[in-house]
Structure 1
């Protein structure tokens, strides 16, 4: 009996293997590609394509061009190099100028998939660092689309784009207009629209999503006039076009600083000289100034990003929302998104032993409100200390520093973007969230105090399903919050409504409107009481209304 059972199992496995659903060789505009087919479970397979070129090797400070194509079958089984960038400690470079590639995950059931929703991921990293595959630990890449694609039954695409000096340097005129990294993203989105049907995707149901600089990129891609009809929905996580680091106000000044570092003139010969300069030297010249303080916060050092170039961004972002009127938009922040930045500016917030001085709080606020002079910093200080009482605890002062950073760098800009999207939308729907699953290291390891909420980028591990991929590294509650995020995000990609799709959600997420300002707080404990309204309304009002109405004393 057991022998017969063994034979039956062997035959079943054999039949499933030989009939495994797979796209096989796929025909694209550049030529034929073949990925890797992996087995996920009974009658569940996935095709993974790594390193498909979506554009040619880019010319220095030029827009991307279509790839000339290839002969034979391209084996798309290895990730390609990241775009040339600084290493984490900014002492050297890594990556290559030959970096405009994308990766695709296509799930299959009994038969080969057709007409699936498509989700295109744009990574963050301050426009200085990052790659389409994300950080790697024991061959487990952060931005692997496998869990999202499998659980949500969607196609996931991740892409590369130029960074740092090579991606974002601009002279502020036609000689070096800038935004090359944004053009790379746009080229990848357009490639997906033209080719994804061959991979079983629906080109008319694409969602772009990204985090931090990737979230800001998503926001810019919705606002540019160059993407009409290329995607239907967008998700910005902890970043959008209104973040104080998202648009460079004086690109010429930065270009001249870079030129001097690489021994180029700063007159009308500057652009030609920069184009001839070694790309590694150019990349090193875009180094971030580390060692910040409340008087020179790290966010002010993020100097390479988008510019109003009259082409990709023909106007200031707030004047471009008509381009996003038909796009469904979902955006939010982590409740302590500013911690990563505030801790660099005021390291004492992470110390159990060292108090954070009230003077540090005042200095940070004075920097963030410097255009309004003393009146601005006084108003800011009274707004943020109104609940302190006469003798605030050291924890309250430290938490206030994080709140200031979170509000200024992420939360208020996100509420602004959501409001403008809802106000200008025709058919586009708007959704707002606050992610508040506490940091897993809170109170366990430095630099995380016991009161830590969700730090910048804490949402990524849950969004990409790491609690399922590496279950021993997480608790069951982490799998809960990961499941919730994947359900909301993939439902939204499928239908434009995070509540409707193939996956059940724990709470019905209401739409954000210009009058209701409703949002969903996302964490492992969520229930109906986590539907909230008017996120940090007092502080949003301060930054968007009270402060701008004060007279300006310093102009850029």
Structure 2
């Protein structure tokens, strides 16, 4: 998969020395591309790499990109389902000038065709330092973790172009990690312990610690940030001893460890169900692993969604993913990412780092495509309301008195007259959005109890031409108000799918409100990485005197990211009060969360 420029003969090496003397880049070979331009090249711990020079879409600022850099051995053959293995050095020069392959996946929204390959553990590094040889700056590093429900996504420039952050003089790193069963299968024993995808990210963070200095970054000043599942992973990293000391700040966008999709029960059982779906009949872990190692990666991508049905979702009362983060057994001294479900914030390995938490005003808009295309779903939901609970710790026997009572309370709160249909799409969006909002808000409360560092809180409400996900799922983006899950992404990053929109915005730059929102957001995110404060006390014409105050244990101050960027208090207080009442009234220990299913 990787392209290497092979070692040269002695004569050619001598020729290259003459070229090197003319170059202005670091430890540097300066490679000459086919079009005659020079390429930045440097040494890292595994060998030499060659990237490419680019300019930002906005101001034309020069930056260097090094893409598709492997950070671990390919997780193939006997390394499938294993923790990542440290990468050995390569010979020659690695050509790192394009996005690497995505991990095996299919996208439920945009591309349902399985694609990708297992040799996918790569990352991308972008640096705004033009002359890496003479400029000894050590810039803050921002390490992005993509979302996708633990089943799809990558760190590629499809959605995560670096231009905006290059304007803010930070080093940006984006990464891939294993997805689905290949990244999260857990047999609850020492053969396959689970959380391989999370351990991939820890390996990538260790790589950054060892190598980012070569790109002008400060390995001791790393901010991890991510959205949705990526935000949940950021939250989990703050709880994992494996990640201690690998980052100094964290941003959780629409995702925290309390999301109901995390920590599915019956992990071992689900693995054997998957085997049966793939026409295999293993008798134990060893035979299952032998069989799984002979299958195609796409077998797992296609088979995983079939391992549970609507009855299971109904009984668990959670919106679950087949394979995701789970508790590890820690058998035989294997290194563990998580040994228990994080519940006690007093045991945080990194309790006193600055944190930012946020959510989008109408997260569940992204789900509307299926409801609009299949309106009968709402009718079925109306006659057989199978609710989802946005928090662990609460579960009811199906059709019990408590189940029926809670279902009726939820219907009355979110749906006019308790009726679910086409006329109550807004109510459905509000209800489903609280599956993200409520866990985020409760996580903010927890951190405020124990952390001595500031906690910043935001709501992204802005609606504009860069709200990609909302516009992708709705023919009429104005028919439902609010910002969908993921809608903040194309304000922070340059999204290839919206290249034509950016081009139009830059043609009318002075009047482009969308660009102003984007620039202000990126400035605040970069300020947080630099100073631990999104709006530090310094003159800034772009932020125009805006002050983002941290939240406190008695008052959830938050920044509403909309046209006016105004501070508010206690977002969604009515909805929070409703769910607090539900949990205070009906809460009971969810004992099944730690039950192992023996086969």
Report the TM-score when normalising by structure 2: 0.78
Q: CA deviation at 1:274?
A: 4.4
Residue equivalent to 2:92: 72
Judging changes above 3 Å, is the alpha-carbon distance between structure 1 residues 247 and 206 closer, same or farther for their aligned structure 2 residues? same
Match of 1:360 among 351, 359, 382: 382
| SS of structure 1 residue aligned to 2:238 | helix
Residue equivalent to 2:523: 487
Unpaired stretches in structure 2, ≥5 consecutive residues: 1-21, 29-39, 331-335, 506-510, 593-599
Once residues 325 and 234 of structure 1 are traced to their aligned partners in structure 2, the CA distance between those partners, rounded to angstroms, is: 11
Q: CA deviation at 1:492?
A: 0.4
**What per-residue deviation string (whole Å, max 9, x for no partner) do you get for residues 82-115 of structure 1?**
1122355886532111111111110036873621
Once residues 83 and 312 of structure 1 are traced to their aligned partners in structure 2, the CA distance between those partners, rounded to angstroms, is: 21
Deviates more, 1:228-237 or 1:462-471: 462-471
Is residue 2:80 matched to residue 1:47?
no
Is residue 2:301 matched to residue 1:283?
yes
Q: CA deviation at 1:270?
A: 4.4
**What per-residue deviation string (whole Å, max 9, x for no partner) do you get for residues 350-404 of structure 1?**
97xx996696297143777762744355346446645877799988722111111
| SS of structure 1 residue aligned to 2:250 | strand
1:192-341 to structure 2, matched below 5 A, reads 192-262=208-278, 263-280=280-297, 281-287=299-305, 300-309=319-328, 310=330, 311-319=336-344, 321-341=347-367
Match of 1:526 among 541, 544, 564: 564
Once residues 440 and 218 of structure 2 are traced to their aligned partners in structure 1, the CA distance between those partners, rounded to angstroms, is: 29
Once residues 469 and 81 of structure 1 are traced to their aligned partners in structure 2, the CA distance between those partners, rounded to angstroms, is: 25
Q: CA deviation at 1:339?
A: 2.2
Match of 2:455 among 427, 430, 454: 430
Residue equivalent to 1:95: 116
Judging changes above 3 Å, is the alpha-carbon distance between structure 1 residues 362 and 327 closer, same or farther for their aligned structure 2 residues? farther
Judging changes above 3 Å, is the alpha-carbon distance between structure 1 residues 306 and 361 closer, same or farther for their aligned structure 2 residues? farther
Once residues 125 and 43 of structure 1 are traced to their aligned partners in structure 2, the CA distance between those partners, rounded to angstroms, is: 31
Deviates more, 1:216-225 or 1:297-306: 297-306
Match of 2:153 among 130, 135, 138: 130
Q: CA deviation at 1:122?
A: 0.7
CA RMSD of aligned residues (A): 3.6
Q: CA deviation at 1:147?
A: 2.0
Residue equivalent to 2:53: 37
Once residues 520 and 499 of structure 2 are traced to their aligned partners in structure 1, the CA distance between those partners, rounded to angstroms, is: 12
Residue equivalent to 2:482: 453
Is residue 2:432 matched to residue 1:405?
yes
Unpaired stretches in structure 1, ≥5 consecutive residues: 1-17, 135-140
Once residues 90 and 443 of structure 1 are traced to their aligned partners in structure 2, the CA distance between those partners, rounded to angstroms, is: 13
| SS of structure 1 residue aligned to 2:237 | helix
Q: Are the counterparts in 1 of residues 411 and 419 from structure 2 also a CA contact under 8 Å?
A: no
Is residue 2:135 matched to residue 1:112?
yes
Q: Are the counterparts in 2 of residues 86 and 287 from structure 1 also a CA contact under 8 Å?
A: no
Q: Are the counterparts in 1 of residues 155 and 175 from structure 2 also a CA contact under 8 Å?
A: yes
Is residue 2:141 matched to residue 1:121?
no
1:6-21 to structure 2, matched below 5 A, reads none
